[in-house]
C-alpha cells in the first residue's frame, strides 16, 4: 500500500541512519520500526522464561530479614579484623 507520511526531521534522520546501518532501503527500515513498535504495544512478545534457582538458604533463614543478616555478618567481619589488627600491634610503652 502506498501512502504519504510526514515524519519529524529528527525521526527521519534516525530512520535514515538505521537504514544505512542495516544496509536496507529507507522504506524497509520504516516498516521494521513500525512493526517492532506495534508488536510491543500489542504485547505479542512471548512471556519471559523463568528459571527457578535454589539459593541454598538453610531452613530458618528469614528471607525478609536479609539486610539484618548482612549487617550481622559485616559486624562479625569487622570485629575479627579489629582483633587481628590489635594482635599485630606492638605493646604501648607507659612512659
* pTM of full prediction above 0.85: no
The pLDDT of residue 46 is above 70: no
Band of residue 40 on the pLDDT scale cut at 50, 70, 90:
low
Q: Note whether 29 and 18 are within 8 A (CB).
A: yes
**pLDDT, mean of residues 17-43:** 86
Report the 10 Å Cβ neighbour count for 28.
13
Q: Note whether 28 and 19 are within 8 A (CB).
A: yes
Of 40, 37, 31, residue with least CA distance to 3: 31
- The Cα–Cα gap between 65 and 34 comes to 46
Report the 10 Å Cβ neighbour count for 26.
13
Amino acid at each position: 500500500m502506498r501512502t504519504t507520511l510526514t515524519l519529524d526531521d529528527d525521526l527521519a534522520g534516525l530512520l535514515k541512519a538505521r537504514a544505512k546501518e542495516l544496509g536496507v532501503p529507507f522504506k524497509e527500515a520504516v516498516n521494521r520500526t513500525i512493526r517492532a513498535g506495534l508488536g510491543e504495544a500489542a504485547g505479542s512478545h512471548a512471556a519471559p522464561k523463568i528459571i527457578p534457582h535454589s539459593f541454598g538458604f538453610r531452613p530458618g533463614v528469614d528471607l525478609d530479614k536479609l539486610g539484618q543478616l548482612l549487617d550481622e555478618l559485616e559486624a562479625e567481619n569487622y570485629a575479627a579484623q579489629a582483633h587481628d589488627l590489635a594482635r599485630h600491634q606492638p605493646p604501648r610503652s607507659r612512659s
